[in-house]
Amino acid sequence: MTQLDHHHDPPGPAVPGQPTDAVGGDAAGAVVAGAVVAGEASAVRLPGRRQRILERRDPWYADPWDDPNVTDALAVERPPRSGRRAKTIVFTLGAIAIVGVLVIGAVGLWYLGKINPPGNAGAARSFTVDSTDTLQTVSERLQKDGLVADASVFRWYVSHHDGLELTPGYYQIRPDDHMGNVMLALNTPPSATYQQITFPEGYTIAKMATRLNSVSPRLSVADFTTAATNGVVRSTYSPEGVTSLEGLLFPDTYQVSNAETATQVVNRMVLLMERVGAQENLDARAAQLGLTPYQVLIIASMIEREAKFDSDRGKIARVIYNRLDPAVDMPLQIDATLFYGQDPNATFAQVKDVDTPYNTYLHNGLPPTPIANPGRASIEAALNPTPNPAQGDPICVGLPADATCRYLYYVKIDEEGHHAFSATVEQQQANIDKATAAGVLG
pLDDT interval class at 54 (50, 70, 90): low
Residues 70 and 86 in one domain: no
pLDDT digits (tens, 9 = 90+) for 359-377: 999 999 999 999 999 999 9
Residues 107 and 155 in one domain: no
pLDDT interval class at 420 (50, 70, 90): very high
Strands (E) located in 181-316: 194-198, 253-257
Residues 99 and 133 in one domain: no
Residues 67 and 213 in one domain: no
Domain presence at residue 108: yes
Give me the pLDDT at residue 10, please: 46
Could you tell me how many residues make up the chain?
A: 442
The answer to whether the beta carbons of residues 379 and 300 sit under 8 Å apart is yes
Domain presence at residue 399: no
Give me the pLDDT at residue 79, please: 56
C-alpha of 35 from chain center = 99
Phi and psi for 400 in degrees, rounded to 5? -60, 150
Residue 397 CA: distances (Å) to CA of 149, 319, 401, 405, 424: 77, 18, 10, 9, 10
Residues 377 and 249 in one domain: yes
Give me the pLDDT at residue 1, please: 45
Domain presence at residue 325: yes
**Predicted confidence (pLDDT) at residue 62 exceeds the cutoff of 60:** no
Residues 21 and 169 in one domain: no
Phi and psi for 172 in degrees, rounded to 5? -110, 115
Domain presence at residue 263: yes
Give me the pLDDT at residue 231, please: 96
State the residue range of the domain holding 67: 3-75
**Predicted confidence (pLDDT) at residue 75 exceeds the cutoff of 70:** no
Higher pLDDT, 85 or 288: 288
**47: Cβ–Cβ under 8 A, 6 or more apart, which residues?**
9, 26, 28, 29, 32
Of 34-38, 41-45, 278-282, least confident by mean pLDDT is 34-38
Give me the pLDDT at residue 31, please: 38
Last residue of a domain, one of 354, 372, 387: 387
Q: What mean pLDDT do residues 218-235 have?
A: 96
Domain presence at residue 424: no
The answer to whether the beta carbons of residues 32 and 50 sit under 8 Å apart is no
CA nearest to 201, candidates 377, 380, 375: 375
Q: What mean pLDDT do residues 149-155 have?
A: 93
Last residue of a domain, one of 12, 47, 75: 75
Domain presence at residue 118: no
Give me the pLDDT at residue 94, please: 72
Of 93-107, 227-241, 242-256, 280-294, least confident by mean pLDDT is 93-107
Residues 230 and 358 in one domain: yes
Residues 58 and 96 in one domain: no
The model carries a pTM of 0.66
Count of domains for the chain: 4
Last residue of a domain, one of 387, 416, 437: 387
Residue 260 CA: distances (Å) to CA of 12, 190, 373: 130, 9, 22
Phi and psi for 68 in degrees, rounded to 5? -60, -30
Residue type at position 237: Y
Residues 147 and 217 in one domain: no
Domain presence at residue 400: no
What CA–CA distance (Å, rounded) separates 390 from 406?
9
pLDDT interval class at 169 (50, 70, 90): confident
Q: What mean pLDDT do residues 213-231 have?
A: 95
Q: What mean pLDDT do residues 397-402 have?
A: 85
Strands (E) located in 115-193: 125-129, 169-173
Residues 153 and 50 in one domain: no
Mean pLDDT of the chain: 84
Higher pLDDT, 266 or 131: 266
Residues 52 and 134 in one domain: no
pLDDT digits (tens, 9 = 90+) for 275-314: 999 999 999 999 999 999 999 999 999 999 999 999 999 9
Domain presence at residue 415: no
pLDDT digits (tens, 9 = 90+) for 1-16: 444 444 444 444 444 4
CATH code for the domain in which residue 150 is found: 3.30.1490.480
Residues 245 and 353 in one domain: yes
Higher pLDDT, 324 or 83: 324
Give me the pLDDT at residue 53, please: 56
**Predicted confidence (pLDDT) at residue 273 exceeds the cutoff of 90:** yes
Query: Long-range CB contacts (< 8 A, 24+ apart) of 320-328?
Result: 320/385, 321/289, 321/385, 322/388, 322/406, 322/407, 322/408, 323/408, 324/365, 324/366, 328/406, 328/408
Query: Which of the residue ranges 89-93, 311-315, 349-353 has the most confident prediction, judged by mean pLDDT?
Result: 311-315
